[in-house]
Amino acid sequence: MPRDRTETMTKSDLIKKTRLRFKTYSQKDIALAVQTIVDSMIGALKNDERIEIRGFGTFSIRERKPRLGRNPKSGAQVALGDRRVPFFKTGKELRRKVDGKE
């Protein structure tokens, strides 16, 4: 049976959870560390670098070709140009843990 997917972990939730685990660091220091990691990942993806976090997954950039899309509100066709989008592929260990097999 599918679970209710209303719960979301935000960046501030991650900071709070990390603060509970590492009590010697201030909330401000942990927030800076999390932001530094996020900024580094964004910078790497902007530079077409692939990010691999063992046991978690890989982040890369995929090129999307131009196509015709649809405005969901009006239903009118909209021309979408070519674009670069981030792509995440889960690692085997993460898939197993989420599936409850580990």
> pLDDT at position 33, please?
97
Per-chain mean pLDDT for the chain: 93
* Residue 3 pLDDT: 60
Which tokens hold the place of 50?
């692939």
pLDDT value at 98 more than 80: yes
In CATH terms, the fold of domain 11-97 is HU Protein; Chain A (4.10.520)
Residue 5 has pLDDT above 80, yes or no: no
Q: Where in the chain are the domains?
A: 11-97
Q: Is the pLDDT of residue 1 over 70?
A: no
pLDDT at 26 over 70: yes
| pLDDT over threshold 90, residue 101 | no
Render pLDDT for 62-71 as a digit per residue (tens, 0 to 9).
Answer: 999 999 999 9
Per-residue confidence (pLDDT) for residue 9, from 0 to 100: 93
Question: Is residue 2 very low, low, confident or very high in pLDDT (cuts 50, 70, 90)?
Answer: low
